Amino acid sequence: MNKQCADILAGKLDSASLAKLEALANEHLVEFLADAVKLCRPDSVTVFDDSKSDVQQVRRLALETREEKALATDGHTYHFDGMQDQGRDKEVTRYLVPADQSLAKTLNQMEREQGLGEVRGLLAGSMTGRRMLVRFFCLGPTGSPFSVSCAQITDSAYVAHSEDLLYRAGYEQFKRLGGSGEFFRFVHSSGKLTADMVSAEPDKKRIYIDYTREHVYSVNTQYAGNTVGLKKLALRLAIRKADREGWLAEHMFVMGVHGPANRVTYFTGAYPSACGKTSTAMIPGETIVGDDIAYFRSIGGQARAVNVEVGIFGIIQDVKAKDDPVIWDVLHKPGEVIFSNVLIHDGLPYWLGMGEEIPADGVNFSGAWQTGKKDSASGAIPPAHKNARYTISLRSIANLDPELDNPQGVPVGGVIYGGRDSDTAVPVQQSFDWTHGIVAYGASQESETTSATIGQEGVRAFNLMSNLDFLAIPLGKYIKNNLDFGLKLANPPRVFATNYFQREGGQFLTGMRDKAVWVKWMELRVHNEAPAIKAPTGLIPVYEDLLRIFQQVLGKEYSREDYIRQFTIRIPENLAKLDRIEKIYRTEVKDAPAAVFEVIAQQRARLQALQAAKGDYVKPTDL
């Protein structure tokens, strides 16, 4: 260790921590740590390794600091975030861009030196009186072509505990780095806290991404989407790394869909937050690899994907025994679960849409709560927040896929894009080819905004491959990388689009569990085992196949009327969508590949030809 760093760290680390740091023999790491210590001025620094006892110590600390409190069920705890800290905060999440560079204008950014000055100013002395925790994790399986090593520094035991549930231990992985500086760096401080352990200065919340050094700073926030470095902060860095190295980092689940004769076909799916992504990945009878973030590589000419994580930070609203039996079970049996922003009453958690009566009083993210409690700004305070969540390890899930830790990932048979779309797309369709799917589904994704991010809900917004919030490279380049990835493969994954949110007169046209049918149909399509009807927007199912699958999977009689209503091609809405998307690519994206405009033009021509022949709304039986 160089002398300067040794002087900074002197007296802060006990001998066990110092030994753990030295065993990694990594000067880059020491420099990163010394810089953070000098800046945040903690009273002490504890370095953790992958051992059970260290992981247990973190869990205990989260209770000691009162960031988490124990519930009645063994292993269950709860945690609250502040009233103004209930989702990812896009407004204060910014890329720090060197003066001679610029990112796409749609990305929130500021000049690097100015941003560093601001965020480091807020972090200065932030850990005085506290202990700094130093953790190591690995994104993707360890010892794999997909592995990305990460060092997390935080003063929050809740953040560190969440990471133990969500990520693979990485201390041993760091040893394999052989002193290299190739790792992502995260520094988080809770900042000043109230007696309830939430930020006292939420207006000083900042999440700044210094991509030039693969270093993210986060301060004055507790919400995991803003604080857990390895989640969405790392995704932003990974998108840049993937761009440099020729792979893909996507906001996607990974799941095994079980087809005929014990065949398992893997799908990945991009859905904006709170649009059915986790519940798709957890469909009973199928197996889950991951619910949020996937890395893709071409290995031996095949598309393969891994789950970056090993846990779930999932939305709890509407988790019901009948619709989500897999997760319901985990949330009710003993074992490690962190509930966040739910209502607590008599040692038990309650959430919106749980299908059971919610008590009239308790404790929630607003403090002591009773029915009718009001907040001066936003009116009635609900018993639990809409973005309330659970944090669990995937290893506690009954239908975990056995390939989770395969260092080569799983082969990808299909890629799904799904959004919250009340009036345009059919429930499920397949693209004509890779390029059509990437452009007409992925790059044309729109979705109505949800409570997963702070701001107005229910507004239709462009959301490129559900990854727009995390893009850190020009949009056109990102689309081109996706196009190129598939075009280089002999047999690229099939591309699909789903829509669970079609509505008519305020009523949903499809049922909550119908996604179990759509995935089975897609599985058959990957193997060319179901015919399809050619619509202008893609290939759609024939009625008889759905009738059979509904019967087999849900034991439900699927009527021809439902099929016709759901799969009618709504031509004016589809044309209007193409216009909106084309406008974005013509006016806001400087570097859109030519394929974007070609695919849009072809789709428009197909829709117009059908409209001229058969009118605005064309039944699948008239195609």
Candidates 85, 292, 403, 469; binder of Mn ion (CB under 5 A) is 292
Find the shortest distance in angstroms from Cβ 189 to ligand SPV: 18
Q: Is 111 helix (H, G, I), strand (E, B) or coil?
A: strand
* Nearest approach, Cβ of residue 251 and Mn ion (Å): 6
Q: Which two tokens stand for residue 71?
A: 């519930």
Distance between alpha carbon 290 and the CA centroid of its chain, in Å? 10
Classify residue 110 by its DSSP letter: E
- Helix (H), strand (E) at residue 419: strand 410-419
Least distance between Mn ion and beta carbon 228 (Å): 11
450 or 481: whose CB is closer to ligand SPV? 450
Number of residues that bind Mn ion (CB under 5 A): 2
CB of residue 389 to Mn ion, shortest distance in Å: 11
Q: Which of 224, 609, 218 is nearest to 390 (CA)?
A: 224
Nearest-approach distance from CB 59 to ligand SPV, in angstroms: 20
Whether 172 and 142 have beta carbons less than 8 Å apart is answered as yes
Mutual orientation of helices 234-245 and 475-487 as an angle, nearest 10°?
60
Q: Please give the Cα distance from 298 to 435 (Å, whole number).
A: 17
Pairing of strands 109-111, 93-97: parallel
Cβ-based nearer residue to Mn ion, 82 or 87 = 87
Q: Longest Cα pair distance anywhere in the chain, in angstroms? A: 81
Question: Active-site residue among 5, 40, 150, 275?
Answer: 275
Which listed option, ligand SPV, Mn ion, none, makes contact with residue 596 (CB within 5 to 8 Å by class)?
A: none
Nearer to Mn ion, 81 or 292 (CB): 292
> Which of the choices ligand SPV, Mn ion, none does residue 420 contact, using the CB cut-off of 5 to 8 A by kind?
none
Binding site for ligand SPV (CB under 6 A): 88, 224-225, 231-232, 273, 292, 313, 452
Which tokens sit at 489?
A: 């493969």
Closest distance of CB 390 from ligand SPV, Å? 12
Nearer residue to ligand SPV within complex by CB, 46 or 220: 220
Q: How far is CA 382 from CA 65, 69, 170, in A?
A: 27, 21, 39
Q: How far, in Å, CA of 195 to CA of 197, rounded?
A: 5
Among residues 312, 309, 486, which one has the least CA distance to residue 415? 486
| DSSP per-residue string spanning 322-356 | TT-HHHHHHHHSSS-EEEES-EEETTEEE-TTSSS
In residues, how long is the chain? 623
Nearest to ligand SPV of 29, 209 (CB atom): 209
Query: What is the identity of the amino acid at 153?
Result: I
What's the rounded Cα separation, in Å, for the pair 375 and 419?
32
Amino acid 499 reads: N
Q: What are phi and psi of 481, to 5 degrees?
A: -60, -40
* Distance of closest approach, residue 307 Cβ to ligand SPV, in angstroms: 13
**7 is written with which tokens?**
């002087």
Q: Among residues 222 and 273, whose Cβ is nearest to Mn ion? A: 273
User: Dihedrals φ, ψ of 161, to 5°?
Assistant: -65, -45
Q: Which stretch binds Mn ion (CB under 5 A): 197-205, 289-297, 489-497, 509-517?
A: 289-297
What DSSP string describes 387-449? Answer: T-EEEEEGGG-TTB-TTTT-TT-EEEEEEEEEE--SSSS-SEEE-SSHHHIIIIIITT-EEE-
Q: Is 309 in the site for Mn ion (CB under 5 A)?
A: no
Q: Distance (Å, rounded) from C-alpha 407 to C-alpha 567? A: 40
Quick one: 232 or 236, whose CB is closer to ligand SPV? 232
Q: In angstroms, rounded to a whole number, what is the distance separating the alpha carbons of residues 482 and 478?
A: 6
Between 107 and 592, name the residue whose CB sits nearer to Mn ion: 107
User: Is 444 in a helix, a strand, or coil?
Assistant: coil
Minimum distance from residue 114 beta carbon to ligand SPV (Å): 26
Q: Between 88 and 525, name the residue whose CB sits nearer to Mn ion.
A: 88
C-alpha 233/C-alpha 95 separation (Å) is 11
Would you say 390 or 563 has its CB closer to ligand SPV?
390
CB of 224 to ligand SPV, least distance (A): 5
**Closest residue by beta carbon to ligand SPV:** 225
Residue with the two structure tokens 């990932």? 409
Coil, helix or strand at residue 64: helix
Mark whether 150 is an active-site residue. Answer: no
d(CA 332, CA 350) in angstroms, rounded, equals 11
Cβ closest to ligand SPV, residue 61 vs residue 308: 308
3-state secondary structure of 380: strand
* Phi and psi at residue 333, to the nearest 5°: -100, 160
Residues 6+ apart with CB under 8 A from 293: 231, 235, 249, 250, 251, 252, 307, 308, 309
Q: How far apart are CA 224 and CA 340, in angstroms?
A: 10
Q: Are strands 252-258 and 287-290 parallel, antiparallel or unpaired?
A: antiparallel
Residue 231 interface partner, choices ligand SPV, Mn ion, none, CB cut-off 5-8 Å depending on type: ligand SPV
Q: Quote the CA–CA distance of 599 and 436 in Å, as a whole number.
A: 6
Minimum distance of ligand SPV from residue 565's CB (angstroms): 31
**Least separation, in Å, of the C-beta of 479 and ligand SPV?**
20
DSSP-based helix, strand, coil % in the chain, nearest 5: 35, 25, 40
Q: Known catalytic residues?
A: 275
Chain contacts with Mn ion (rule: CB under 5 A): 273, 292
